[in-house]
Structures are given as C-alpha cells and as structure tokens.
Amino acid sequence: MTPPRNYVLDADSLMRAKKQHYRFCFCPGFWEFLLAQHTAGRIKSIDKVKDQIKPGDDLHAWVTTKAPSNFFASTRSAAIANEYGKMMVWVNGQPYKQAAKSEFALATNADGWLVAYAKAHGLTVVTHEVPSNGINRVKIPNVCDQFGVDYCDTYDMLEDLKGNLVLGP
C-alpha cells in the first residue's frame, strides 16, 4: 500500500474552502483536520500564500490565531530560489501573453513559489486550478506538469489522507 503523500496548499484551496464547502460556521472539522495533518507533518503552506490572505474574515482569523506559525513555511532558501528561477525561465519562453508572464512574476503572486517549494521538498501541490492551453494566465498545473511536481485538488487530498469530517451535534 502506498503511503499518503505530503501536501502544500495553494491560497485558492484555503479561500475556496472558507467560501464554499468548508465554511467555519458549519464545518470546523475540516480546519481541525488541516491542523492535525500539519502536526503529523503531512500538510503545510508557504509564507507567500499567507501574505495573500487579507485581514477581515474567518480565514485570516484562523491563520493568525489557530494555525501555528510554521504552518506557513518560509520560501527563503537557495534550493527554492533555484527552482523558482528555472520556472521563470520556462514561463518566459512560453507563448503566454506578456501580462500573464508579468502577473506570474509578481512578488505578491505565490503560484511560482508554491510550485518551487513543492519541487524542492518533494510535495504535492493542492490547488483547484486545472491545466489550460490558454495564453492569458499561467496555471499552476501547467507549471507542475513541466517540472514533474504532483498536484491534486482538496478532495483528492482528503481521500488520500483519510479525512473523516464527522457530523457533530
């Protein structure tokens, strides 16, 4: 039996969970599951994802009061910067529109750093993005495919990690 993979979460996987299926008001088990899996060394995210979570809602409150500081790992390392550099060279050599390339390269855009972190640490990226042949936006799965990084959505991660969100009283 193959052991579960280890995961790094995209901002969208957290933001979508908060807005849709795993709202804090009726599905606290999802958020407890993330924390338990983080403690077990299976789930984390990165500092640049944390920076994308803006103050003023339940997700920001969870990030700042419930998630341990090491839930959002630092992207400051030579290995990660090296992978990120390779990804930027690849993106710039693709037929994406210049605006898409510029957006991907923004310091506030976590996508490239997320994939670089996953590549450097052998992790699976959790995202709800899907591959695309479009030229208007650089998609995480396209970069993952190019660099041999596994990716999946939240549901596949939950299944792999045997997530069991039990209904309470």
Q: 129-166, pLDDT tens digit by residue? A: 999 999 999 999 999 999 999 999 999 999 999 998 87
Give, as one character, the DSSP assignment of residue 72.
Answer: E
pLDDT value, residue 1: 62
User: Which residues on neighbouring strands pair with residue 125, listed in sequence order?
Assistant: 8, 151
Which is nearest to 73 in space by CA: 47, 92, 53?
A: 47
Instruction: Say how far apart CA 167 and CA 164 lie, in whole Å.
Output: 9
Which is nearest to 75 in space by CA: 46, 49, 41?
A: 46
pLDDT value, residue 168: 61
Give Cα separations from 61 to 26, 109, 139 (angstroms): 16, 21, 28
Q: How many CB atoms lie within 10 A of CB 16?
A: 16
* pLDDT class of 4 with cuts at 50, 70, 90: confident
Instruction: Say how far apart CA 52 and CA 148 lie, in whole Å.
Output: 25
Pair 112, 84: CB distance under 8 Å: yes
The letter for the amino acid at 45 is S
pLDDT value, residue 169: 61
pLDDT value, residue 164: 86
Pair 143, 87: CB distance under 8 Å: yes
| 73-124 pLDDT tens trace | 999 999 999 999 999 999 999 999 999 999 999 989 999 999 999 999 999 9
| 107-121 pLDDT tens trace | 899 999 999 999 999
pLDDT value, residue 63: 96
